[in-house]
Amino acid sequence: MDNILGYKDQNVVITGAASGMGAAATELLIEAGANVYALDIGEVSAPVTKALRVNIMDKASIDAALLELPDSIYGLFNCAGVPHPPTPAYETIMINFVGLRYLTEQLLPRIAQGGGIASIASTAGMGWRANLDTVKSFLALESFEAASDWLRAENELGEADAYGFSKQCIIVYTMQMAGELAKQHKRINCIAPSPTQSAFMDNLNSAGVGKDVTSLFCPSNGDFATGTDMGHALVAINSKLAGFISGCNIPVDYGYCAEITMEQRDNLLGISL
């Protein structure tokens, strides 16, 4: 059972490694023997192979980091993300999706066969079906600049706020890319966490979105997840144990979405599996 996850001596890249889910995943990857290249605008405290200061909404910052990343990569973990509010709408979508997509597509040629991409979406993005036309129109803007210009023009986001839209984009992008990546023997998945106690949640609280609101989207045990809960899920779905899983948005919510689907809870977010 040695190296059961397949990360030993493998190069992995992870964004958002300084805190929350990204920090938890980073620690687990180090324990699994990976060579971890950590990208964050903040300081990464874990003993990674290399830590790079990167502003994920700045193309030049991403390009500078790309020069310092290895030529061969086993896994990419897209964990950087911000809440809206308090983060402005433009910045939220640029960080949560546009920068994520740009980094992903620049690294795709370096991802080895059998490797994969794991991103963090959200239950807040699982109303994507009702907003699919708007999301697909935005995804059709393939360049970093075109997406930025569209957002700066304050176009309508359809059936979503900025945060929900950014997560809808991750989910739809994941499914759109799965077929093409399968031809290359590479995988792509995302997880949809339920409310998770983290600095992210603290930022929501500071913006007036307290636990009395976010707890509405917790599972029936009433628990807020931890960053470690989500870090474990990310590392698992990008490991060799999940080698035939691709194109999936996986709810990591202790059954919250199952309850919605079975009409045991009010569907406040328009969720569909």
Find, among 233, 197, 262, 263, the residue nearest to 19 by Cα.
197
How high is the pLDDT of residue 209?
A: 46
How high is the pLDDT of residue 201?
A: 56
Q: What DSSP character marks residue 124?
A: G
pLDDT surpassing 50 at residue 258: yes
Could you report the per-residue pLDDT of 191-223, keeping only the tens digit for each? 999 988 866 555 545 555 446 666 788 888 989
Which backbone phi and psi does 66 adopt, to 5 degrees? -55, -30
Q: Using 50, 70 and 90 to split pLDDT, how confident is the model at 1?
A: low
Find, among 153, 129, 130, the residue nearest to 141 by Cα.
153
Domain boundaries, the chain: 11-261
User: Do residues 77 and 234 make contact, with C-beta atoms less than 8 angstroms apart?
Assistant: yes
- Tell me the mean pLDDT in the region 83-100: 96
Q: Name the fold adopted by 11-261.
A: Rossmann fold (3.40.50)
Percentage of residues in the chain with pLDDT exceeding 90?
85
Beta partners for residue 75, in sequence order: 12, 116
Could you report the per-residue pLDDT of 115-146, keeping only the tens digit for each? 999 999 999 999 999 999 999 999 999 999 99
Contacts of 230 (CB under 8 A, 6+ apart): 20, 21, 24, 25, 120, 191, 193, 196, 252
Distance CA 71, CA 261 (A): 43
